[in-house]
């Protein structure tokens, strides 16, 4: 199978993950992912989207949204810091950031990939199979896809989000509640019931 990637989309306000896809990092999977995302958004509201600089998104965004989106790319160039100890495992440092407006009129203050980058860290920290430098990886792509789906189900519906809870005056609030697709935090029995009913 080779490299397998997890595509994720996040609502910056509600922190909801409305769509994700486990697959190859190519135009075909990008199109499938963004078509799914477009189908889950409220129609009549023009979305704003920011992606990294991967060229596959140019065709995929056009295919999924046409001209009904405000879209920008945030391109970060990474490089090694000569001061860092080469033996230490550490991520590369950001050397430059370039914003490219691709379509429409995205609001500059909302051109950001930080939320989805933080979500990627949450996913890696929450799922053992995503831990770096271990042998806990999924042996089958299907198993990885199932694990990612269970993670996002729990993230969206079960686990209250600290920032959202604080904004709600201390009422435990999940991303699904903030997005108004759930009225209360779900228990795992609710997740199992939902899975069995589909």
Element counts in the chain: helices (H) and strands (E): 7, 5
| Separation CA 19–CA 163 (nearest Å) | 21
Q: How confident is the model at residue 87 (pLDDT cuts 50, 70, 90)?
A: low
Beta bridge partners of 98: 75
| Separation CA 19–CA 39 (nearest Å) | 10
8 Å CB contact between 154 and 174? no
Of the listed ranges 22-36, 83-97, 129-143, 171-185, the one predicted with least confidence: 83-97
Q: Is pLDDT above 90 for 49?
A: yes
Cβ-count burial of 161 within 10 angstroms (0-12 exposed, 13-18 middle, 19+ buried)? buried
8 Å CB contact between 4 and 23? yes
pLDDT digit string, tens, across residues 118-154: 998 899 888 888 776 777 777 788 988 999 999 999 9
**For position 196, what pLDDT does the model report?**
86
How many CB atoms neighbour CB 175 within 10 A? 24
Smallest CA-to-CA distance from 17 within 162, 146, 179, 165 is with: 179
If you average pLDDT over residues 52-60, what whole number do you get? 94
State the total domains in the chain: 1
If you average pLDDT over residues 25-34, what whole number do you get? 95
8 Å CB contact between 94 and 52? no
Smallest CA-to-CA distance from 108 within 65, 50, 58 is with: 50
Q: Find the Cα–Cα–Cα–Cα dihedral 141, 11, 44, 20, rounded to 10°.
A: 0
**For position 88, what pLDDT does the model report?**
61
Q: Which domain holds residue 150?
A: 5-197
Q: How confident is the model at residue 54 (pLDDT cuts 50, 70, 90)?
A: very high
Q: Which residue has the tokens 């970060």?
A: 76
């Amino acid at each position: 199978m080779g490299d397998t990637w997890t595509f994720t989309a996040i609502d910056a306000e509600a922190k909801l993950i409305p769509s994700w896809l486990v697959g190859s990092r190519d135009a075909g999977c990008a199109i499938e992912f963004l078509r799914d995302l477009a189908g889950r958004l409220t129609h009549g509201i023009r979305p704003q989207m920011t992606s990294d600089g991967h060229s596959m998104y140019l065709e995929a965004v056009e295919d999924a949204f046409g001209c009904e989106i405000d879209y920008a790319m945030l391109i970060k160039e990474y490089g090694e810091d000569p001061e860092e100890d080469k033996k230490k495992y550490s991520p590369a440092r950001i050397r430059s950031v370039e914003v490219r407006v691709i379509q429409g009129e995205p609001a500059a203050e909302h051109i950001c990939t930080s939320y989805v980058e933080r979500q990627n860290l949450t996913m890696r920290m929450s799922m053992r199979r995503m831990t770096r430098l271990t042998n806990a990886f999924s042996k089958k792509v299907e198993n990885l896809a199932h694990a990612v789906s269970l993670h996002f189900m729990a993230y969206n519906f079960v686990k209250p989000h600290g920032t959202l809870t604080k904004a709600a005056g201390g009422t435990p609030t999940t991303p699904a509640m903030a997005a108004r697709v759930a009225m209360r935090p779900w228990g795992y029995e609710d997740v199992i019931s939902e899975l069995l009913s589909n």
